Amino acid sequence: MKYAIASEKVRRTFAKQIEKISGERISLCYQCGKCSAGCPVAYAMDYLPSQITRFAQLGMVEKLMQSSTIWICASCKTCSVRCPRGIELAKIMDAFRILAKRRGIVPKGQIAPLFDGIFLGSIEKYGRLHEMGLISKLNIASGRPFKDLSLLPIMLRKGKIRFVPEKVNSPREVRNLIRKVEELESK
Amino acid sequence: MKVAYYPGCALHATAKEYDDSCQLVFKELGVKLQEIPGWICCGATPAHLTSHLLGVALPCKNLILADEMGLDTVIAPCAACFNRLKVADQEVKEDLELKKDVEKVLGRPYSGRVEIKHPLEIIVQDIGLEKVRKMVRRELEGLRVASYYGCLLVRPPEAVGFDDPEDPQSLDNLVTTLGGEALPWAFKTECCGASFSLSETDIVFQLSGEILNEALEAGAECIVVACPLCQSNLDLRQKAIEKRYRKRINLPVLYFSQLLGLALGMNMRELGLLKHMVDPTKLLEKTLA
* Count of beta carbons in the 10 Å neighbourhood of residue A86: 10
CATH code at position A50: 1.10.1060.10
Residue A30 counted as domain residue = yes
Q: Tens digit of pLDDT for each residue in B38-92? A: 999 999 999 999 999 999 999 999 999 999 999 999 999 999 999 999 999 999 9
Residue A58 counted as domain residue = yes
The b-or-e profile of B15-39 (16+ CB within 10 A means b, else e) is bbbbbbbbbbbbeebebebeebeeb
Domain ranges across chain B: 2-117, 129-288
CA distance linking residue A162 with residue A131, whole number of Å: 8
Closest CA to A75 of B84, B250, B127, B123: B84
Verify whether the Cβ–Cβ distance B38 to A170 is below 8 Å.
yes
The reply to whether omega before B156 is within 30° of 0 (cis) is yes
Q: Chain B contacts of A23, Cβ < 8 Å?
A: 91, 95
Residues A93 and A120 in one domain: no
Residues A91 and A18 in one domain: yes
Of residues A115, A128, A159, nearest to B46 (C-beta): A115
Q: Chain A contacts of B43, Cβ < 8 Å?
A: 120, 123
Inter-residue contact B116 to B82 (CB < 8 Å):
yes
Return the pLDDT at A56: 97
Residues A81 and A137 in one domain: no
Residues A93 and A124 in one domain: no
User: Taking 70 as the threshold, does the pLDDT of residue A1 lie above it?
Assistant: no
Return the pLDDT at B192: 98
Average pLDDT over every residue of B262-270: 97
| CA-based nearest distance A2→chain B, Å | 31
* Closest chain B residue to the Cα of A102, Cα to Cα: B50
- The DSSP secondary structure of A44-86, one letter per residue, reads G-SS-HHHHHHHHHTT-HHHHHHSSHHHH-----HHHHH-TT-
Verify whether the Cβ–Cβ distance A120 to B275 is below 8 Å.
no
State the SS3 of chain B.
Answer: CEEEECCHHHHCCCCHHHHHHHHHHHHHCCCEEEECCCCCCCCHHHHHCCCHHHHHHHHHHHHHHHHHCCCCEEECCCHHHHHHHHHHHHHHHHCHHHHHHHHHHHCCCCCCCCEEECHHHHHHHHHHHHHHHHHCCCCCCCCEEEECCCCCCCCCHHHHCCCCCCCCCHHHHHHHHCCCEECCCCCCCCCCCCCHHHHCHHHHHHHHHHHHHHHHHCCCCEEEECCHHHHHHHHCCHHHHHHHHCCCCCCCEEEHHHHHHHHCCCCCCCCCCCCCCCCCHHHHHHHHC
Domain edge (last residue) among A102, A123, A156: A102
Residues A175 and A116 in one domain: yes
From chain A residues 16-45, the ones with a CB under 8 A of any chain B CB are: 21-23, 40-41, 43-44
Return the pLDDT at B58: 98
Residues A68 and A132 in one domain: no
Count of pairs with CB atoms under 8 A, one residue in A, one in B:
162
Q: Chain A contacts of B6, Cβ < 8 Å?
A: none
Domain edge (last residue) among A49, A76, A102: A102
Verify whether the Cβ–Cβ distance A177 to B105 is below 8 Å.
yes
Q: Tens digit of pLDDT for each residue in A106-162? A: 888 899 999 999 999 999 999 999 999 999 999 999 999 999 999 999 999 999 999
CA dihedral B274, B275, B279, B282 (to 10 degrees): -20
CATH code given to domain B129-288? 3.40.50.11810
Verify whether the Cβ–Cβ distance A41 to B52 is below 8 Å.
no
Residues A84 and A127 in one domain: no
Q: pLDDT-derived band of residue B190, with 50, 70 and 90 as boundaries? A: very high
Average pLDDT over every residue of B276-280: 97
Residues A149 and A75 in one domain: no
Instruction: Give me the numbers of helices (H) and strands (E) for chain A, helices first please.
Output: 11, 0
Q: Tens digit of pLDDT for each residue in B20-40? A: 999 999 999 999 999 999 999
Q: Residue A25 in 3-state DSSP?
A: coil
Q: Chain B contacts of A80, Cβ < 8 Å?
A: 155-156
Interface test with A, best of B51, B148, B207 (most A CBs within 10 A): B51
Residues A141 and A167 in one domain: yes
Mean pLDDT of chain A: 95
Return the pLDDT at A138: 97
Q: Residue A126 in 3-state DSSP?
A: helix
Residue A1 counted as domain residue = no
Q: Tens digit of pLDDT for each residue in B106-162? A: 999 999 999 999 999 999 999 999 999 999 999 999 999 999 999 999 999 999 999
Give the structural domain span for A124: 112-186
**A141 vs B: CB within 8 A:** no
User: Taking 90 as the threshold, does the pLDDT of residue A4 lie above it?
Assistant: no
Closest CA to B137 of B21, B265, B24, B289: B265
Q: How far is CA B219 from the centre of its chain?
A: 23
Verify whether the Cβ–Cβ distance B155 to A77 is below 8 Å.
yes
Verify whether the Cβ–Cβ distance B53 to A134 is below 8 Å.
no
Residues A95 and A139 in one domain: no
The radius of gyration of chain B from alpha carbons, rounded to an integer in Å, stands at 19
Q: Tens digit of pLDDT for each residue in B241-250? A: 999 999 999 9
Interface test with B, best of A43, A68, A72, A77 (most B CBs within 10 A): A77
Residues A98 and A48 in one domain: yes
CATH topology of domain B2-117: Glutathione S-transferase Yfyf (Class Pi); Chain A, domain 2 (1.20.1050)
In percent, how much of chain B has pLDDT > 70? 100
Element of type H or E holding A99: helix A89-102
Domain edge (last residue) among A102, A124, A158: A102
Of residues B48, B95, B105, nearest to A180 (C-beta): B105
Residue A3 counted as domain residue = no
User: Taking 80 as the threshold, does the pLDDT of residue B232 lie above it?
Assistant: yes
User: Taking 80 as the threshold, does the pLDDT of residue B289 lie above it?
Assistant: no
**Domain tally, chain A:** 2
From chain A residues 144-183, the ones with a CB under 8 A of any chain B CB are: 147-148, 151, 154-155, 158-162, 166, 168-170, 174, 177-178, 180-182
Residues A75 and A126 in one domain: no
